[in-house]
Amino acid sequence: MSFDPTPDEIADRYAAAHERVVGLAATFSTSDLDCPVPGTPKWTVHGLLSHLVGAPVDFAAGRLEGAGGEKWTQRQVEERAGRPLEQLIEERSGVIAGVDSAVRGGHVPAPISFDILTHESDLRGALGLPPTPDPLGLRFVAAGFGERAVAVAAKR
């Protein structure tokens, strides 16, 4: 079985997770934002949200050097430290249509969706919320990571 999602499938998974994360974030209290995230132990909920804002902002601005790496993601978090939640949500809203268009145009690979879906689960786990209610998204991530693990093992 091969994992070969279409650009629309990648974009659909990303868009659905984006809507859920923004919906969840709108309900977060100050104490929620300060909560540590075990899945990303260097970050609080605010820090993780800062990364989820910073990644599409960086993509839209063409800042892709080191994309996905620790320095790239940590810079996103540090740049947004202390910003109110409403400002984070507004910043993300300003770029999300362009990101969706680029993904649907086939210019962005599936890991963009892996990132937000994985971090949605991180947020939910950190705050004791129910699991991600998107079985298609969970299968999407599992299939993508599974194929990647098989490919890495085959190279050894």
Pick from 128, 149, 119, 126: which is nearest to 50 by CA?
119
Q: Is 149 exposed, middle or buried (0-12, 13-18, 19+ CB in 10 A)?
A: exposed
pLDDT tens sequence across 51-71: 999 999 999 999 989 998 999
In this prediction, residue 1 has a pLDDT band, given cuts at 50, 70 and 90, of low
Closest CA to 55 of 19, 105, 91, 12: 91
Q: pLDDT at position 149, please? A: 87
Select from 118, 128, 20 the least CA-distant residue to 73: 118
Q: Could you report the per-residue pLDDT of 135-148, keeping only the tens digit for each?
A: 999 999 999 888 88
